[in-house]
Structure 1
């Protein structure tokens, strides 16, 4: 079945280019098969004697890609094909392809700039322009130029901006694949301005259940809207299975939302933008799109990153609609007027232009680069944001007056945390309070653990008694971070197990 994927038509061209040159750009629309077909095809190449790293923008997508490649090969995940994310890892000494989240890759190349034992790095969904993806590519290009001219780098994009990546990668050849899209119908339902989004989405889902066949995937901006929509859809009947799909769910619940129902029931999946790319949800032929997205936006005045609900971009709503036609003809119901599509922003802005750059600036200093802008970027980090980051890192005592990392900065950087959280954990460790600081850091980074109470101590108490794979993974993560924290200084407070 996989031999019919459009990507297989252009794989010979990609393999030929990579035998003669280290870099390539692969442009392949959703459904072409690039995420799960490219890495296995490279394994038998004469230059590929080591590991292949496939970068994925999200933990759910990383795990799903590894599981799909392993299933195609007739293996269990963790053998030839494995994955590594912050909360979950399955790989072994036999693993040749490891799907990693972008942040995991940045940490790995910082610890090992030569990427010893790695033959290729594939950057999937580079068009999403996350900060970690842009930074990971910049570091990989720098390492390739200075240390690893034999390292193969492939940028894989679902949109036609391959020329920019080609220029960034020393004129790398661009290989373009056709997509695999069945006929798609668009229905613009509109939405009354005063209507709550969950009411409108629930009504559209009920309409689609009456008028269409097949599973339904509905895009909502966040977990709260998903839960309120689920409440409005109670009583759909025994033949309809309602799933939620977002990053706060246990892996088992995420897998159930993606996989076909064993009892052949019709599925309704309420999802965040996590389902826009990289995943194929079996049985889905209808999409209901709220037209909204929730994104992190850095507020410089407050010095904090906030989640903001705003209109989805044209690129995003196109990706969402395409989910309906991955496996069969489909229909997308849009909760806005057709004419309003042209008024949506064309693309999501690159995260590097809007994010807090504290971690990036510290990581660059550790890399030996005082000014992040000397690395190779599609969009260089803004000078004002870099200067603000330097000021914050000086305040945290992570950089000295010359912009070099201090011993405290090195201690922060050894932790897989944002600088402010890393600073908290290091100082707490010196006082003998590493355990409580690590647990707070996990709760601040993992929404939904212990509930959504604004009182962190209440969440911490509930989380300690929660069952489930995600809660247990969070506890293991906190323990790992506790062990990474420095030991108490002489005369420290002690009491690392206090509650």
Structure 2
């Protein structure tokens, strides 16, 4: 990342920063390892990720770059799945794990920095965790470094919340991305339209295809409609309900060199680089938890994906080369 020197220089004399970098710039896996060499960084670095899959993938990527197995210098901690040791210096954790940790230990003893990745997603745990960290910094840990990171962040608003922290921006995208809007018929089922778009993309473009759908049911119905694909195409389903080994298979390179086709929920929206993906097909829909005042409970609602979300989704296509979305 071209802006790393500026970020490191700032954090030597200040405690807060906001980093805005486009998808594929490497902020998730580049910033934390760079901070380890700083004189003020004598403890652990926590990297907050909004999803368990992204947390595991980020830790595994940093460990691979360092030439060591995950769980040594670089580890992760998610619900029901943890890989870390006494020597772990960088731990990627989900937002819920961080909230529980800072509530149990408001001083964050032994922690030198907290990096909030993909803060634009604005989850309850993410916002609450950032507020608690800012409060802990003001009351207990003036030396604690806090960095908010995203590709589509409203930097000024978060900078104000973090005491007027500077916004450090990385300009430009590493690879060109071509955007195409093909639309869909209002009377047609979303599964039929997406399956048609996938077959069109496979026929007109080169490289793997990542498809975003709102939920598991839509993924399974699209998979049914894509039956009979050529043998050189490897179809994967990717959502939070499948086992971690199947999730890893979906985001790793195909061992036999086949073309990858991944049908995913928003679990693949951020912080992931899937080898070989050059095309993104986006349904434009997302299923989000929303509080129902009348029922007094939270329920899942299918709605149009936000502009920030569709920008992140499109960015998956151009992380390793020119892409189409």
C-alpha deviation, 1:11, in angstroms: 1.1
C-alpha deviation, 1:315, in angstroms: 2.1
Q: Which has the higher contact order (CA 8 A, sep 6+)?
A: 2
Please list, as runs of the form range in 1=range in 2, the aligned pairs for 1:78-117 lying within 5 A after superposition: 78-117=71-110
Q: Can you list the C-alpha shifts for 1:286-336, whole angstroms capped at 9, x where unaligned?
A: 11111111111110100111111111122222222222122122222xxxx
Equivalent residue, structure 2, for 1:147: 140
Q: 5+ residue gaps in structure 1?
A: 1-6, 333-499
Say whether the 8 Å CA contact 1:181–1:322 is kept in structure 2.
Answer: no
Other structure's SS at 1:82 match: strand
Q: Is 1:223 aligned with 2:216?
A: yes
Q: Which of the residues 21, 43, 46 maps onto 1:28?
A: 21
Equivalent residue, structure 1, for 2:247: 254
Quick check: which one's helix share is greater?
1
Say whether the 8 Å CA contact 2:207–2:279 is kept in structure 1.
Answer: yes
Say whether the 8 Å CA contact 2:120–2:308 is kept in structure 1.
Answer: no
Aligned partners of 1:90 and 1:25: how far apart in 2?
A: 28
TM-score (norm 1): 0.64
C-alpha deviation, 1:28, in angstroms: 0.9
C-alpha deviation, 1:183, in angstroms: 2.3
C-alpha deviation, 1:68, in angstroms: 0.1
Quick check: which one's strand share is greater?
2
Other structure's SS at 2:87 match: coil
Q: 5+ residue gaps in structure 2?
A: none
C-alpha deviation, 1:179, in angstroms: 4.3
Q: Can you list the C-alpha shifts for 1:40-72, whole angstroms capped at 9, x where unaligned?
A: 001111111110000000000000000000000
Q: Can you list the C-alpha shifts for 1:225-278, whole angstroms capped at 9, x where unaligned?
A: 001111111110210100011111111111111111011100110011111111
Say whether the 8 Å CA contact 2:119–2:153 is kept in structure 1.
Answer: no
Please list, as runs of the form range in 1=range in 2, the aligned pairs for 1:210-289 lying within 5 A after superposition: 210-289=203-282
Please list, as runs of the form range in 1=range in 2, the aligned pairs for 1:113-262 lying within 5 A after superposition: 113-262=106-255
Aligned partners of 1:168 and 1:255: how far apart in 2?
A: 36
Number of aligned positions between the proteins:
325
Q: Greater CA radius of gyration, 1 or 2?
A: 1
Question: Which 4+ stretches in 1 moved above 4 angstroms?
Answer: none
Aligned partners of 1:196 and 1:89: how far apart in 2?
A: 40
Say whether the 8 Å CA contact 1:201–1:288 is kept in structure 2.
Answer: yes
Superposition RMSD on alpha carbons, in Å?
1.1
Q: Which of the residues 37, 50, 57 maps onto 1:57?
A: 50
Other structure's SS at 2:231 match: coil
Other structure's SS at 1:188 match: coil
Other structure's SS at 2:206 match: coil
Q: Which of the residues 21, 25, 33 maps onto 1:40?
A: 33
Please list, as runs of the form range in 1=range in 2, the aligned pairs for 1:323-402 lying within 5 A after superposition: 323-332=316-325
Aligned partners of 1:277 and 1:124: how far apart in 2?
A: 9
CA pair 174-190 structure 1, distance change in 2 beyond 3 A: closer
Aligned partners of 2:306 and 2:78: how far apart in 1?
A: 28
Aligned partners of 2:237 and 2:9: how far apart in 1?
A: 42
